[in-house]
Amino acid sequence: MSVDLSVSLGSLKLKNPVLTASGTFGYGTEYAELYDLSRLGGVIVKTITLKPRPGNPAPRIWEVGGHGMLNSIGLANVGVEAFIAEKLPALKNLGAAVIVNVAGSTIEEYWEVVEKLEPQPGFDAFEINISCPNVKDEGMAFGSNCAATEQIVRGLRDRTRRPLIPKLTPNVTAIGEIARACEAAGADALSLINTVVGMAVDVQTRRPRIATVTGGYSGPALKPIALAKLYEVRKNVSLPLIGIGGISSATDALEYIITGAAAIEVGTANYVQPKITLEIIDGLKHYCEKRKIARLADLIGTLDTSIG
Amino acid sequence: MIQECGALRRKEVIHPEIFDLWLECPEVAHQSHAGQYLHLLIKGATGVTLRRPLSIAGIEGGLIRLLVRIVGEGTSALAAVPVGTIMDVIGPLGIPFDYSKVSQALLVGGGIGGAPLLFLQDELIGKSIPTDYFLGAKTQDEYPLDPEEVERRSIFAATDDGTFGSAGFVSLQVNQWLQHHDHAGVRVYSCGPLLMMREVDRICRLYDLPHQASLENRMGCGIGVCQGCAVRVNDGKGDPRGGYRLVCKDGPVFDAMEIEWAVLGESYR
Ligand SMILES: Cc1cc2nc3c(=O)[nH]c(=O)nc-3n(C[C@H](O)[C@H](O)[C@H](O)COP(=O)(O)OP(=O)(O)OC[C@H]3O[C@@H](n4cnc5c(N)ncnc54)[C@H](O)[C@@H]3O)c2cc1C
Ligand SMILES: Cc1cc2nc3c(=O)[nH]c(=O)nc-3n(C[C@H](O)[C@H](O)[C@H](O)COP(=O)(O)O)c2cc1C
Ligand code: FES
């Protein structure tokens, strides 16, 4: 039985729902030495900013037992100009959708990065990392404020015809409201979640494990948190959703799809098992075959909450 | 860089905390050079999410030698892996040591940092480049090689407390060697504790000798995508605004002139 794994995120069509999460897949081609990237639904590149960013002081990462990891990379990236000149051309014939993730430290910077990228060929959509600290607002993340989020997305809507996918932070009180602000401002889809703020301490030295004290927590421990956020967002908007957080198997991916995700992103698991995305794609197909589901898209949001 | 699954063929205990492993990974072995490392998946280990970087300590046919010291959950789980188990590795990774235009090599290792220098010694001997290898450890119980191999490789052994080889830091031995030998064409290679490499670097600067140091850092991906293993460097001429380099991809072997030793201490917390 042939299974149709294709899904759509608004006008963006994916041949399968498996994407690689920003910051865990470099500039998109690094893993090409290990496997054929054209099998992926798509790749999402590291967050690109207007100016190059060297990143935060070391140590930048800490493994939290078997549960996940903390990072404080600080959006280290080559900047939009070098990205366009040196990285984007290599993505042209990838054979999978290419999504460019962008951020700014002011609202205007978000707009400017997208203005610079918009005329360029070779990519299919923008993911907007709104988890960045707003330098004008005492470092509060843009994505924790409805007005700032709406202003960013509205401004971007005026500047691009490509699909816009704001990426929501879980570090907020009411994620549904932020999601609604994105929908009102013209977003095409939403992805969630970015990392959860976390921390670890070395009790020998009484120092934090990462130089910035707190950082972003990712990996297996995120899955229940992210699923609950997805469930909440789904009740608030009708946009297509992309699930992210601790996905490292087809079963994990299915939990998200059944809860309401049209696609999923694999993050930390890429570091551990670079080919895990391929296993997930095969696992999704196998699941559908066994249950005689002809189109994976028919599974999206089929969560049965009748009991409990 | 390839991902290969191969059997653990041999395991030998050198001390209760240090052991030798031989993995059958012919494709990776074939591409490997001294200074490069493997990113190893330790399946089923509790308390471990990420892979573990381990230096390639030697190649024998299709076998790759690893010399491992138990320091935490991952390395103790690795020590318990039975011979015959299939292991998943990504490698060879990183920039190897450079020995072009070298007529005499000085290898300076501290503790488990001696591992990549064993492979380097093999390669240098293969190229007929005169090589002296100084390998130190705190004490006999932490010495990373058995005495028979030390003898066979003509390694100058030292321990801080004199329980094996000569007494005192290896850097002292290197300094003495330099006082009694011609320096033309000499290049120094170090791997070990930060303080040791820093002292070796001080001596190299004193004698104006080129020095390559192999650094460690916590790693996420191992292939340059996560930016987690960054260390501060200078521009090679002392300007500390050189920015960051990635230990996994730009290293682990660095020209010691680039290394900001004082800042590096911070990242080794
Ligand atoms: C390029 C490279 C080559 C290496 N080669 C060897 C080798 O040949 N043999 C060997 O025994 N070890 C080697 N190491 C170090 C080895 O990777 C760590 O000891 C190992 O990852 C620790 O894992 P663990 O789960 O046992 O310890 P954990 O429980 O993760 O940590 C135990 C302690 O070790 C420290 N630590 C953990 N990872 C690292 C790291 N990557 N670098 C420095 N300190 C660390 C932690 O801060 C902690 O204090 C190498 C490291 C690098 C970066
Ligand atoms: C080292 C690291 C760097 C990351 N960098 C970015 C980034 O630049 N932009 C971004 O939007 N998300 C970034 N993320 C977050 C991931 O894209 C993802 O949202 C998060 O890790 C949760 O998924 P996971 O549990 O599968 O890793 C990063 C995550 C990690 C672990
Ligand atoms: S370990 Fe990921 S960039 Fe070096």
In chain A, the domains with their CATH numbers are 7-200+214-299 (3.20.20.70)
Partner residues linked to B107 by β-bridges: B133, B189
Give the distance (Å) from ligand 2 centre to CA of residue B15.
40
The minimum-distance atom of ligand 3 relative to the CA of B225 is 3
Size of interface A-B (CB pairs under 8 A): 108
Both structure tokens of B106? 């000085």
Residue B215 lies in a domain: no
Using only C-alpha atoms, chain B has a radius of gyration, in whole angstroms, of 18
Q: Say if ligand 3 is within 6 A of residue B87 CB.
A: no
- Tally of domains in chain B: 1
Give the distance (Å) from ligand 1 centre to CA of residue B175.
29
> B266–A211: do the CB atoms touch at under 8 Å?
yes
pLDDT at B206 over 60: yes
In whole angstroms, what is the distance from residue A216 CA to residue A275 CA? 24
Residue B238 lies in a domain: no
> A59–B269: do the CB atoms touch at under 8 Å?
yes
Give the distance (Å) from ligand 3 centre to CA of residue B50.
12
Q: Say if ligand 2 is within 6 A of residue A248 CB.
A: no
Residue B31 lies in a domain: yes
Residue B129 lies in a domain: no
Both structure tokens of B163? 């329980």
CATH number of the domain enclosing B86 = 2.40.30.10
pLDDT category at B234 given cuts 50, 70, 90 is confident
> A66–B48: do the CB atoms touch at under 8 Å?
yes
Both structure tokens of B244? 């960051």
pLDDT digits (tens, 9 = 90+) for A285-308: 999 999 999 999 999 999 999 876
pLDDT at res. B233: 86
Length of chain A: 308
Residue B25 lies in a domain: yes
Considering only CA atoms, which residue is closest to atom 28 of ligand 2?
A23
| B27 lies within 8 A of chain A by CB | no
In whole angstroms, what is the distance from residue A261 CA to residue A231 CA? 9
* DSSP secondary structure code for residue B222 in this structure: S
Residue B49 lies in a domain: yes
The DSSP code sequence of B104-166 is: EEEEEEEGGGHHHHHHHHHHHHHTT--EEEEEEESSGGG-SS-HHHHHHTT-EEEETTSSSSE
pLDDT at B236 over 80: no
3-state DSSP assignment of residue B240: helix
pLDDT digits (tens, 9 = 90+) for A50-105: 999 989 988 999 999 889 999 999 999 999 999 999 999 999 889 999 999 999 99
Mutation pick for ligand 3 pocket among B215, B223, B233, B244 (CB with most ligand atoms within 8 Å)? B223
- B175 phi-psi bin (left φ>0, alpha ψ -120 to 50, beta other): alpha
pLDDT at res. A203: 96
pLDDT at B268 over 70: no
| B76 lies within 8 A of chain A by CB | no
In whole angstroms, what is the distance from residue A153 CA to residue A237 CA? 15
pLDDT at B163 over 60: yes
pLDDT at res. A308: 60
Give the distance (Å) from ligand 2 centre to CA of residue A34.
21
pLDDT at B266 over 90: no
Map tokens 């591992």 to a residue.
B115
> A273–B41: do the CB atoms touch at under 8 Å?
yes
pLDDT category at B47 given cuts 50, 70, 90 is confident
Considering only CA atoms, which residue is closest to atom 27 of ligand 1?
B72
pLDDT category at B158 given cuts 50, 70, 90 is very high
The minimum-distance atom of ligand 1 relative to the CA of B269 is 47
Which chain B residues in 194-223 lie under 8 Å from chain A, judged by CB atoms?
Answer: 217-223
> B217–A65: do the CB atoms touch at under 8 Å?
no
Q: Say if ligand 2 is within 6 A of residue A105 CB.
A: no
| A217 lies within 8 A of chain B by CB | no
Residue B145 lies in a domain: no
pLDDT category at B242 given cuts 50, 70, 90 is low
Q: Say if ligand 2 is within 6 A of residue A72 CB.
A: no
Residue B231 lies in a domain: no
Nearest CB neighbour to B3, from listed A54, A63, A274: A274
Alpha helix ranges (H) inside chain B: 26-31, 73-79, 114-126, 147-152, 170-180, 194-207, 261-267
pLDDT at res. B241: 58
CB A49 within 8 A of CB B16: no
In whole angstroms, what is the distance from residue A5 CA to residue B33 CA? 42
Mean pLDDT of chain B: 93
CB A61 within 8 A of CB B220: yes
Under 8 Å CB-to-CB from B125, ≥6 apart: which residues? B131
Give the distance (Å) from ligand 2 centre to CA of residue A157.
24
Residue range(s) defining the domain that contains residue B49 = 2-93
Identity at B169, one-letter amino acid code: F
Catalytic annotation on A132?
Answer: yes
Whole-model pTM? 0.94
Q: What is the mean pLDDT of residues B12-40?
A: 96
Using only C-alpha atoms, chain A has a radius of gyration, in whole angstroms, of 18
Identity at A303, one-letter amino acid code: L
| B48 lies within 8 A of chain A by CB | yes
Map tokens 């798509």 to a residue.
A42
Q: What is the mean pLDDT of residues A156-178?
A: 96
pLDDT at B269 over 60: no
